[in-house]
Amino acid sequence: MTVSGQRFALIVLDGLGDRPAPGIATPLAAAATPHLDRMAKEGRTGLLSILGPGVAPESDAGVLALLGYSPVDDSPGRGVLEALGAEIPLAPGDVALRTNFATVDGSGLVVDQRVGRNLTTSEGSRLAAAVTAAQLLAEEGIQAELRSTVGHRGVLWLHPTDGGSLSAQVSNSDPFYDRRGGLGQARTVDRPEPRTVLALDPDPASERTAEALNRFLERVPALLARQEVNARRALAGKRIANAVLLRNAGSLPRTPPTSFSERYGMEGAAVTEMPVERGIARLFGLEDRFVGPMGADRAASLRERAQQTRRALSDRAFVYVHLKGPDEPGHDGDGPRKREMIEAIDADFIGPFLEGLASGVRVAVTADHATPVVVHGHSDDPVPVLLWDSGVRPAGPAGKAFSEEECARGALGTRSARELLPLLLAPTSFG
């Protein structure tokens, strides 16, 4: 499938895509991106439909599709991917769920699903440790460990201690995400009330797991309300973390999925920042080059990621890079900050990555989903994509700039996300 000696990079800018509006430029179109625009002019551009119309994908589903896997058939669930990324030693029969600390008001409605997006990882870790120490499901014969990962994010790990069975076939309590099989999908709600967890099949293990999770959710708020972390946050005028939202339960697959090297005949690496993308890399056997969230010096952090990517390309044929940057401002409805983050990635990641890059490196730049500023969340909008080769210029029409509008006119047309890697790896020129 590949050209001997060729190197390949898939650069995923989380939530990059946005929704054009009459007279209003998207953050990507408004951003000064000379390096990405140069790649578009020297390569081919188009749009990718990540999971199709009507499906607003979560990041894990988007990444699986971009890597050529099925988010429905090949994913063990977001909870397992997060657990793998957090180095939780899941055992067969355990259940893992993605969690958010959240702020709930006196009427029981979620007023902030991310605790103001300023809960520190240290604060989250202390809250999670208190929940774990309380062993809220001990009477049910289940060890429940809440593991904090980054900021408000975490994993709930359930392990049966009584010889009984658990099942991942349970629904979400998080009102902002639906579960469809193993696939998570963002949803818009008018009344953001945490939902009762339901068994998704008649198996007694599913019923047991759903009942246990509902008891856990009932017991957590009183425990969190007593924590010093929340007292200090309240005194500082910050939102408190007084609830936990659960979504996308999963268990280890009985049969490991086909590895990346088996599927594509080459060894790969992954430069990632967040646990879920790290978990995907581990699931499919990509060499783990986890760098963690960006530090206070954004420019230095981005340049470090560019260096890591170049080093990975020196000894692996394929590198997947995931940069979280544009997604959070999209969720916050902050167009100027999203534009600023895109400009920073262009200047401090794309520029250094391209500088002195040898011939024989083919690059795809795209997004795992759109996070339109007007939506404040993920959407089903197609995302821009560019394909570029460090040593070859396409014979046909090249792109003009890297934006949603220009990519919609690009020579690649609109493709499905699962077509991307075959296009990137094909031994012929980009078709």
- Is residue 20 domain-shared with residue 86, that is, in the same domain? no
Point out which residues pair with 285 in neighbouring strands. none
CA angle 407–377–180, rounded 5-degree value: 100
Do residues 216 and 136 make contact, with C-beta atoms less than 8 angstroms apart? Answer: yes
- Is residue 118 domain-shared with residue 222, that is, in the same domain? yes
Q: Does residue 430 form part of some domain?
A: no
pTM here? 0.92
pLDDT tens sequence across 19-31? 987 778 999 999 9
Taking residue 4's Cβ as centre, other Cβ atoms within 10 Å add up to: 6
- Is residue 144 domain-shared with residue 63, that is, in the same domain? no
Domain extent for 95? 81-250
- Is residue 244 domain-shared with residue 99, that is, in the same domain? yes
- Is residue 194 domain-shared with residue 274, that is, in the same domain? no
Q: Which of 216, 234, 250 is the last residue of a domain?
A: 250
Q: Does residue 2 form part of some domain?
A: no
Of 98, 248, 252, 245, nearest in space to 183 by CA: 248
From start to end of 263-382, where are the E strands?
Answer: 268-271, 287-288, 318-323, 361-366
| Res. 320: pLDDT tops 60 | yes
pLDDT tens sequence across 160-201? 999 999 999 999 999 999 887 767 778 888 899 999 999 999
- Is residue 223 domain-shared with residue 339, that is, in the same domain? no
Q: Does residue 48 form part of some domain?
A: yes
Q: Does residue 340 form part of some domain?
A: yes
The CA distance from 223 to 355, in Å, is 52
For the chain, what is the mean pLDDT?
A: 93
Q: Which of 190, 223, 250 is the last residue of a domain?
A: 250
Q: Which of 218, 250, 282 is the last residue of a domain?
A: 250
Q: Does residue 169 form part of some domain?
A: yes
Concatenate the DSSP letters of all residues of 61-109 into one string: HHHHHHTT--TTTS---HHHHHHHHTT----TT-EEEEEEEEEE-TTS-
Q: Does residue 66 form part of some domain?
A: yes
* 82: amino acid identity, one letter: E
Domain count, the chain: 2
Would you call 131 exposed, middle or buried from its count of C-beta atoms within 10 A (0-12, 13-18, 19+)? buried
- Is residue 179 domain-shared with residue 308, that is, in the same domain? no
Dihedral angle over CA of 291, 293, 296, 302, nearest 10: 50
pLDDT tens sequence across 92-147? 999 999 999 999 999 999 999 999 999 999 999 999 999 999 999 999 999 999 99
Q: Does residue 192 form part of some domain?
A: yes
CA angle 421–345–61, rounded 5-degree value: 40
| Res. 395: pLDDT tops 80 | no
- Is residue 108 domain-shared with residue 223, that is, in the same domain? yes
* Longest alpha-carbon distance in the chain: 68
Do residues 64 and 70 make contact, with C-beta atoms less than 8 angstroms apart? Answer: yes
The CA distance from 294 to 286, in Å, is 21
- Is residue 282 domain-shared with residue 325, that is, in the same domain? yes
CATH of the domain at 308: 3.40.720.10
Do residues 174 and 100 make contact, with C-beta atoms less than 8 angstroms apart? Answer: yes
- Is residue 365 domain-shared with residue 287, that is, in the same domain? yes
Q: Does residue 402 form part of some domain?
A: yes
- Is residue 388 domain-shared with residue 291, that is, in the same domain? yes
